[in-house]
Chains A and B, each alone.
Chain A
Amino acid sequence: MVEMLSPLQPVWRPGSHGNFADGVGVVLSETQPGSIVQVTAWPGEEKTVIAAIRTASGLSLPDGAGGGIATETRAAFGIAPGKFLVVSEDEGLADALVQAIPINLGTVTDLSHGRTALRIAGPKAEWVLQKFFAVDFSLPALPVGSGVATNHHDIFAHIQRTGEDRFDLTIFRSFARAFWTALCHASEEVGYEVR
């Protein structure tokens, strides 16, 4: 199978950068999941679709926008009422979801190529994200597993907290390089490592 080309390639600089004399505040990475899929439910079919997502991905989503769940290999959260983003390290999740969700329940849209998955982790992850998004990233306001659909200027972003100090960001591919560059820039203050 032909490898997917990362949009970050020319600006991908592994290693430590910025002010890391006292340790790195954040680790930045591109997670390159095999599947990024948007699932939607027609009004009234949300619970059925959530059950179907569980069947296809093994993820038990809570009901409602913003609620979500994250494991080491898969994650999903409600990006809007009746809309979910499901991410897996395995390829082919879209096909499995299409099988599980017929058109009378909702729709499945494969975005595996169209979105770039970035991860920011570390003690200063909240601090760095606060520079970009008008979102309360504190743990009580955004518990592990939950997420938000938001934007930074012209760049849409789905952000899911996948650990106490870890966030996964799903960005439009065409903006990924610009956003990554801005993310690195904003992380200089706290010291960052790319890996």
Chain B
Amino acid sequence: MSPRRGNTAGRVDRTRTIRFSFDGKSLTGHAGDTLASALLANGISLVARSFKYHRPRGVLTAGIDEPSALVTVLKGEEREPNVPATMLEIYDGLVVVSQNRFPSLAVDVGAVNGLAGKAISAGFYYKTFMGPVIGPLKGTRFWMVCEHFIRRAAGLGSAGTAPDSSRYERMYAFCDVLVVGSGPAGLMAAKAASEGGARVILAELDSRFGGSANWSGETIDSLPAADWAADTVRDLSGRENVRLLPRTTVWGYYDSNGLAALERVTDHKEKPGKGEPRHRHWSIRAGTVVLATGAFERPLVFPGNDRPGVMLASAAQRYAAEFGVLPGEKIAVFANNDGAYAAAKTLRDSGAAITAIVDVRADISAEARAIASAVGGHLLLRHAVVATEGGKHVSGIKVQGFDLASRRLTGEARHLDADCLIVSGGWSPVIHLASQAGAAPKWDETLQAFLPPEPAQNWIGAGSFNGRFTTAEALAEGLSAGLRAAGGNGHPEAVPEVEHAAPFSEPAPVFEIPAKGKAFVDLQHDVTAEDVRLAHREGFISVEHLKRYTTLGMATDQGKTSNVPGLAIMADALGKPVAEVGTTRFRPPFASVSIGALAAERYGDIKPERLTPMHDWHVAQGAKMYAAGLWYRPQIYGKPGETVEQAYVRETKTVREIAGIVDVSTLGKIAVQGPDAATLLDRVYTNMFSTLAVNKARYGLMLREEGIAFDDGTTWRLGEHDFLMTTTTANAGKVMQHLEYYLDVVWPDLKVHVTSVTDQWAGAAIAGPKAREILATCVTGTAVDNATLPFMGIVSGEIAGVPVKICRLSFSGEMAFEVYCGAGHGTHVWEALVEAGKPFGMVPYGLEALGTLRIEKGHVTGAEIDGRTTASDLHLDWMLSKKKPFIGSNMLGREGLVAGDRLRLVGLISLDNRPLNGGAHIVEQVDEANPRHSIGHITAVCYSPALGKYIGLALVKGGKSRHGTRAFISDPLRKRFGPVEIVSHHFFDPEGSRMHG
């Protein structure tokens, strides 16, 4: 038995010993322990060093509100800093280190910061940012010098650099009633709602359901409260309409009753089960939310209130009753309300001596007085603790008379023995979620606490959340909330009866004891009461400004123990009531959330791979695959030893000389069907489609509403009312949205349906002088001669027993055909085409060769349709019909769109025989040291085997008027400068004789 561990009580399983290490020291605990309870059981109270002053810190709380006992968990190379020891369940092999100390927790050189307290008080960073007004370190230079040292000296744990190997998941859930919190109120609400037929989710941030029932020592319906809770949970777990979520923190309340929660699925396990995620992000849509989130006990602010051994009264009670661990042997109590007396009783019953109860009030309830008498020790009413004594642990306290009315100390301070001081400054309802849901909390003068606002969304509060702090009230409110949440469908049952109830009283309005010494408000950010007053003196009177200037409440605990005391001290400084000073609103997250959980299943898998039907063939042939949006496309089919340039030059040359085949399945394909299909196309394309004959295709251009080029592609007329529109790969989704928008919103009268059929068709394009011959050897059921299949004609036939549609169209300038078949037959047809091409020497070619063929022909490649260019800029004005209006036609003539100095498409030839760079600027005079005066930029580049030169397309001011002139490429980032000639974008076969055969 550990000296501080009792033989009975608690949730820990004493038959199971757990081995873990803290700062390299091997320790043991029991199953069910948190790190905090296990450390306390081992007699370890020094757990951390503070943020700024490196003061020794211990365990203040027993839950998610912990500001001090933050540790770093190590797993192999991975480290997770700033984990509250109070929330960390121990497991065999757990390795934990303390943080923000050097060389050790016990001997920390950073503690010297404590001597510079005044210099690094509130606003220190802001003042450092501003720096001196003169001298070599004026302005921000001073900060630049200080930053390095400040970052080393201050802060919490350091993040790891090893990749996170954990698995994360997301879960969407829907329910009629979400109950947040499983104390007596939450359990009653869940039970009542479930009995009313509602689908219920009960979320509890702790590993154990039951909340205060687990440690209150009360009796509910004649059972120990913990047993009542366990029975109720057992009952709920057997119900089909109830989902229990332990270790789940509901951290965000969003619109339309959408809530976010984090389930810590395997943090408490040595090793996750196969496929088990570490964390699960729950996205919950609830009909009604029951907020039974309880309340946080507040500390009191007095000098030395941060010394290890100072603990919240409820936390000490919890350690004793729930974990069987005593935080001290000679315990003093300091309170402004009756709640701490119950804690004193539990601690005494568990074997500790209560040396004194110090209470700022003059009168206490008879119940409290009876407890005080029973537990022994001094009962010091109208007294306050004015200091704690000891080094790295409390060894005694100093108490002094205190006048509640004037809030002044009286008499002389005197010493009392104690190795632990438990403190209670009243209770703050956990109203964070209600505040996030859209309303400001309200100050209650009687309870000295912020209460939840009127609901701005569909939630119902219950229990301590509402400021109803007794268990009897919690049970009654939980029952009522559950019934209401279920729509009044349940059968009201009797409210369970509470016996041996803990005493409760409103707290005296005391937050700070005005004694000399460092008295901490925000323990995690080392903000003292004096810092708050300094902020006031320096003119920060708004609570929002106070928060930012002092950083009060801005640490990882978000001020759960410090916001209200800080506000009260600010109000006192201002001479105003707290209600008038107001409070900051809470925002998500309520507690820390792992980024991995938010990325969930996308962690390590940022986007899905989109594959063409022939993908595996390409890979098997050694194609180098290239990401094009979500798609993967062959870049080159390189041969051993070939560079990318050598490969695409070979592929391009083969296309020009013989034939090549390329996978064009990624082109967007949209079925445009209906009696008004041709009308729609006439409106969305700049050119006419209603005149297109069945089994013919036409190249089309679309503009945006303001006349800017949007997308291009060919559309095939397969039937009178049936068109197959193709789009660029990149714009397929946008074009689909564009069409759907116009059909749904602008022209709902048109009888047209559009359907994405991109994936229905596999597409192969065969181009080159031998393309027709190759096709003829493998196509059956149709001829492919010029008469049967003229330019832009479409025929149906079969290849290797598979139905195909063949359209004769070309983007390479060569005789070319696009062969479409069902995607499931894609590889079959592709292989048949490749086989047919083998005797001729046909090769497959990739995106680089495809681009080269297009650039040589001066076809836009995609980069030129950049959201800024018009049809005229791209020399596509011949496609602008004058016989009909179309989207964008009204805006085409705007001054800016017809200005003479617009960037227009030209060709470029590199004159220094070096590659050009996409994105590089074109300038008239090169000045490497001071690049400027761009006249345009390069959009596409390649080595042209047809010309034997490096060429490119560019958008240049003046366009055609510069043909035949010289300019320079200016690319300072990549250090590429050199002369170019501006030429026509039609580099190769400008007459188009090759594609007509």
Q: Which residues of A contact B (CB under 8 A)?
A: 1-7, 9-10, 18-19, 38, 40, 42, 103-104, 106-107, 109-115, 130-136, 138, 141, 153-155, 172-175, 177-179, 182, 185-191
Given contacts A114-B760, A131-B601, A186-B169, 14 further A-B contacts (CB under 8 A): A1-B801, A2-B801, A3-B824, A9-B616, A10-B616, A111-B755, A130-B172, A131-B171, A135-B172, A136-B285, A138-B174, A174-B758, A175-B608, A177-B609
Which residues of chain B come closer than 8 Å to A112, judged between CB atoms?
760, 822, 824
| Nearest chain A residue, comparing its CB with the CB of B272 | A189
| Closest chain A CB from B857 CB (angstroms) | 28
CB–CB A189/B274 < 8 A: yes
A-B contacts, 15 listed (Cβ < 8 Å): A2-B825, A4-B824, A109-B753, A109-B757, A111-B757, A113-B762, A113-B822, A113-B824, A114-B761, A131-B172, A153-B602, A154-B607, A174-B611, A174-B631, A190-B275
In-complex Cβ contact of A134 among B172, B608, B613 (8 A): B172
Given known A2-B825, A112-B822, A133-B172, contact A178–B755 (CB-CB < 8 A): no
User: Does B630 touch A at the CB level, under 8 Å?
Assistant: yes
Q: Which residues of A contact B674 (CB under 8 A)?
A: 42, 103, 107
> Is B274 in contact with A153, judged by CB distance below 8 angstroms?
no
Give every chain A residue within 8 A of B611 (Cβ-Cβ): 7, 174, 177-178
What is the 8 Å Cβ interface bit string for chain B, positions 815-848, against chain A (1 contact, 0 not)?
Answer: 0000000111111100000000000000000000
Give the 5 A-B residue pairs with the shortest CB-CB distance, closest first.
A188-B275, A4-B824, A114-B760, A113-B822, A178-B608
Q: How far is the CA of A138 from the CA of B172 in the complex (A)?
A: 12
Verify if B239 is at the interface (C-beta below 8 Å from A): no
- Report the minimal beta-carbon distance from B938 to chain A, rounded to whole angstroms: 31
Min CB–CB distance B630 → chain A (angstroms): 6
Cβ A153 vs Cβ B753 within 8 A: no
| B789 within 8 Å of A (CB atoms) | no
User: Does B170 make an interface contact (CB < 8 A)?
Assistant: yes
**Do A109 and B759 touch (CB < 8 A)?**
no
Q: Report yes or no: B825 in contact with A4, Cβ–Cβ below 8 A.
A: yes
Which of B605, B608, B757 is the one whose CB lies under 8 Å from A114?
B757
Report if B721 contacts A (CB, 8 A).
yes
Which residues of B come within 8 Å of A, CB atoms? Answer: 169-174, 199, 273-277, 283, 285, 601-602, 605, 607-613, 616, 630-631, 665, 671, 673-675, 721, 751, 753, 755-762, 800-802, 822-828
Tell me if A173 and B613 are in contact (CB < 8 A).
yes
How far does the Cβ of B468 sit from chain A's closest Cβ, in whole Å? 33
The interface residues of chain B lying within 8 Å CB-to-CB of A191 are 275
Residues from chain A with Cβ under 8 Å of B826 in the complex: 5
Measured CB to CB, the closest approach of chain A to B120, in angstroms, equals 47
Asked if A5 contacts B827 (CB within 8 A), the reply is yes
Give A194 Cβ to nearest chain B Cβ, in Å: 15
In the complex, A7 Cα to B613 Cα: how many Å? Answer: 7
Instruction: Contact check, A19 vs B613: say whether CB atoms are below 8 A apart.
Output: no
Distance to closest chain B CB from A165 (angstroms): 14
How far is B273's CA from A178's CA once the two chains are assembled, in angstroms? 24
Most buried by B among A6, A110, A131: A131
Within the assembled complex, what's the spacing in Å between the Cα atoms of A135 and B671?
28
Known: A2-B801, A107-B753, A189-B276. A174 touches B822 (CB 8 A): no
Task: Provide the bound-state CA to CA distance between A190 and B171, in Å.
Answer: 14
The complex places the Cα of A38 from the Cα of B894 at a distance, in Å, of: 43
B721 touches A103 (CB 8 A): yes
Contact B275 A5 (CB under 8 A): no
The residue on B at minimum CB distance from A190 is B275
A174 to B665 alpha-carbon distance, docked (Å):
10
Q: Which residue of A lies closest to B273 (CB)?
A: A19
Select A103's contact among B273, B675, B800, B828, beta carbons within 8 Å: B675
Residues from chain A with a CB closer than 8 A to the CB of B721 are 103
Q: Are A5 and B199 in contact (CB under 8 A)?
A: no
A106 and chain B: residue at smallest CB distance: B753
The CA of A187 and the CA of B762, in the complex, are separated in Å by 31
When chains A and B are docked, how far (Å) is the Cα of A185 from the Cα of B613?
A: 23
Contacts of A174 in B (CB 8 A): 610-612, 631, 665, 758-759
Taken together as a complex, chains A and B put the C-alpha atoms of A174 and B630 apart, in Å, by 10
A113 / chain B contacts, CB cutoff of 8 Å: 759-762, 822-825
* Complex partner residue of A18 from B275, B610, B751, B827, CB under 8 angstroms: B275
Residues in B neighbouring A18, C-beta threshold 8 A = 274-275
Give Cα A105–Cα B173 distance, bound, in whole angstroms: 39
- CB of A109 within 8 A of CB of B283, answer no
Closest partner residue, chain B, to A9 (CB atom) = B616
Find out whether the CB atom of B171 lies under 8 angstroms from the CB atom of A5: no
CA of A153 to CA of B606, assembled, Å: 10
Taking a contact as CB atoms closer than 8 A, the residue among A115, A134, A178 that contacts B759 in the complex is A115
Which residues from A are CB-within-8-Å of B761? 113-114
Residue from B276, B751, B827 within 8 A of A42 (CB atoms)? B751
Chain A residues closer than 8 Å to B755, beta-carbon distance: 38, 109, 111
Partner of A189, one of B173, B273, B607: B273
- Chain B nearest CB from A122 CB (Å) reads 15
Within the complex, the shortest CB–CB distance from B801 to chain A, in Å, comes to: 5
Chain B residues, CB < 8 A from A40: 753
Q: A2-B825, A114-B761 are in contact. Are A154 and B608 (CB under 8 A)?
A: yes
Are A131 and B169 touching (Cβ within 8 A)? Answer: yes
User: When A114-B761, A154-B630 are in contact, do A173 and B276 touch as well, CB less than 8 Å?
Assistant: no
Residues A178 and B613 in contact, CB atoms below 8 Å apart: no
Which residues does chain A contribute within 8 Å of B759, judged by CB atoms? 113-115, 172-174
> In the complex, A94 Cα to B616 Cα: how many Å?
29
Chain A residues within an 8 Å CB radius of B173? 130
For A186, list chain B residues within 8 Å (CB). 169, 601
- Inter-chain CA distance A136–B753, complex, in Å, is 29
**A104–B169 touching, CB < 8 Å:** no
Known: A130-B172, A131-B169. Is A19-B274 also a contact (CB below 8 A)? yes
Quick one: closest A residue to B280, CB to CB?
A: A131
Chain A residues lying within 8 Å of B612, measured Cβ to Cβ, are 174
**CB-based nearest B residue for A185:** B601
Of all chain B residues, which has the CB nearest A18? B275
CA of A87 to CA of B753 in the docked complex: distance in angstroms?
A: 20
Q: Is B823 touching A19 in the complex (CB atoms < 8 A)? A: no
Cα-based distance from A173 to B825 in the complex (angstroms): 12
Query: Which residues of the other chain, A, contact B760 by a CB distance below 8 angstroms?
Result: 110-114, 173
Q: Answer whether A5 and B828 are a contact pair too, CB < 8 Å, given A109-B673, A141-B174, A153-B607.
A: yes
Complex Cα spacing A163 to B792, Å: 49
**How many Å from the CB of A102 to the closest CB on chain B?**
10
Q: In the complex the two chains form, what is the Cα distance from A5 to B320 in whole Å?
A: 66
The interface residues of chain B lying within 8 Å CB-to-CB of A131 are: 169-172, 601
| Residues on B with beta carbons closer than 8 Å to the beta carbon of A104 | 675
Q: Which residues of B contact A187 (CB under 8 A)?
A: 275
Q: Is the CB of B610 within 8 A of A178?
A: yes
| Chain B residues, Cβ within 8 Å of A130 | 171-173
